[in-house]
Amino acid sequence: MKLFSKGLSLGLVALLSLSLAAGCGTTAAPKTGASDTTPIKVGGNLELSGGTAMFGQAAQNAINLAFEQQNAKGGVIGRQLTLVAADNKSDAGESTAAVTKLVTQDKVVAVIGSMTSSVTLAAVPVVTDNKIPMISPSGTNAKLTVDPATGAVRPWIFRACFIDPFQGQVAANFALTNLKAKTAAVIIDQKSDYSKGLADAFVTNFKKGNGTITGTEQYVAGSDKDFRSILTRIKAENPDMVWLPGYYQEVGLIVKQAREQGMMMPFMGGDGWDDPQLFNIGGNDAMNNTFYVDHVATDDPGMATFVKDYKAKFNSEPNAMAALGYDAANLLVKAIDDAKSTDPEKIRTALENMKGFKGVGGDITIDPKTHNPMKSAVIKENKAGKSVFLTRVAPQ
C-alpha cells in the first residue's frame, strides 16, 4: 500500500510538472519577427511645457499625425506605432529624467526629441549608455552628433535638421549680399548652446566676407525682460544690422524695445524665431524689416499635403518645428522598415545609411561620418504680421 501510494504520488508530480512546463513555455516565449503584433513604442522627449513649449507641442502633434497615417496603412513591419511622450519642461535636467524613464521603464525602441540643442544634449549620455537611437527634429548645435573633444560621431544620435554652422553661413551671406550690411552687432542668450553656436557661425562667416562686428551683448532667457541697456549700447555703435540668434519669446521683446528706441535697422536670427507668438510678443509693425533662417516654408509646394493634413486634424497652421517633427517620425518609420526589425542596433544602422529620404522639408541623406542630414535652408522675411518665403539655399 505504501509502495502504491508513493508511486502514484510520484506519477502525479511528474505529470503536473510536465503540464506546468508546457504552460510556462507557451506563455513566456516572447513574440519576435513577423509573428509579433504588439505596438512599437517610440519615445518622445519633448518640450510640452516651459519656455519652448510651442515647439514641443507642434512636434508632438506632427509625430502623432505621422504615426496615425502610417498605422492606417498597416503600420510598419506588420505592427502599429505608438508615441510615448514625456514632458522635459524645456529644461536640461528634466530632459535627462524624461529620457531615462522612456528608455528604462517604458522600454521604447527609439527616441524622438528634443527640440532645442541644450535640452537634447542632456539626453545624449542616457541613450548612448542604453544604446537606443535618438533623432532630434530641430537640435542644430554641431556637437549633438559629433563629440567636440574627440571629433568622433556619436553613434546613437541623429537629427532631421541642418546644423548651426550651415545656418550661420546662410545668414551671414544673406546679410552681406542681400542686406548690404558691412557692420553687425550680436546679441546672445548666454545660457543657450543653440544661441552661442549660431552666433559663432555667423560671426566667422560675416568676418570672412569682410564684415565687421561692432560689439556683442548677452542676456539670460527666461529671467531678463528689460533689454534697454544693451540696446542703448548697440544703438550707439550704429551697426547696419543686428544678429539675434535666440528663441521667439525674447526675440519679440528685444525687437519691440529696439523699435521703441528708434532702432530701425534690420534684425536677423535663426529657426528659433519660427512661431506665430513672435508677432503677438513683438507686434506686427515692430517685426517688419526682420529676417530669419528656417527649415521650411509653409507656402512651399512640397509642403502642401502636410499643411492640409495638419490643419484638418489640429485646426492650426503648422510651423517649421511641426514639419521637422513629422520628418523625424517618418525617418524613423523608414529606418524600422529598412531594418525589418525593432532592434535598436539595426535601426541605428538603417538611419546611418539613409539616402534620398523624401521629407516635407526636402530630401534627406544622412552623412554617416556626422549623422547630419544634407538638406537646404530657406530665408523668410517678417512682413505685416506674417512670415514670407524669400529664397531657398542649398548646402555647399
Q: What is the pLDDT of residue 396?
A: 63
The larger pLDDT score, comparing residue 299 to residue 61, is at: 61
What is d(CA 161, CA 230) in angstroms, rounded to the nearest whole number?
A: 32
Instruction: Determine, yes or no, domain membership for 30.
Output: no
Asked if residue 28 has pLDDT above 80, the reply is: no
Task: Identify the CATH number of the domain in which residue 211 sits.
Answer: 3.40.50.2300
- What is each CA distance from 11 to 8, 14, 21, 25, in whole angstroms? 5, 5, 15, 21
Full domain range(s) for residue 172: 165-294
Give yes or no for a contact between 278 and 287, defined as CB atoms under 8 angstroms apart: yes
Count how many domains the chain has.
Answer: 2
Instruction: Look at residue 376 in the predicted model and tell me its pLDDT.
Output: 83
pTM of structure: 0.76
Give residue 296's pLDDT: 87
| Residues 89, 178 within the same domain | no
The band of 328, judged by pLDDT with boundaries at 50, 70 and 90, is: very high
- Examine residue 72 and state whether it is found in any structural domain, yes or no: yes
Read off the pLDDT of residues 87-125 as tens digits, 9 standing for 90 and up.
Answer: 999 999 999 999 999 999 999 999 999 999 999 999 999
Residue 65 has pLDDT above 50, yes or no: yes
How far does CA 159 lie from the centroid of its chain? 7
Residue 389 predicted with pLDDT over 70 = yes
Cis preceding linkage at 114, omega within 30: yes
Both 66 and 144 in a single domain? yes
**DSSP character at residue 30:** P
Grid cell 500500500 is found at: 1
5 within a domain of the structure (yes/no): no
Q: Are residues 99 and 197 in the same domain?
A: no
Share above pLDDT 90 across residues of the chain, in percent, rounded to a whole number: 78
Whether 142 is covered by a domain: the verdict is: yes
pLDDT reading at 24 higher than 70: no
Is 43 within the bounds of a domain? yes
Residue at 149 is within a domain: yes
- pLDDT single digits (tens) 117-171: 999 999 999 999 999 999 999 998 889 999 999 999 999 999 999 888 899 999 9
Whether the predicted pLDDT of 14 surpasses 80: no
Is 274 part of a structural domain of the chain?
yes
Assess whether pLDDT exceeds 90 at residue 9: no
The predicted model gives 331-351 an average pLDDT of 98
Residue 384 within any structural domain of the chain: no
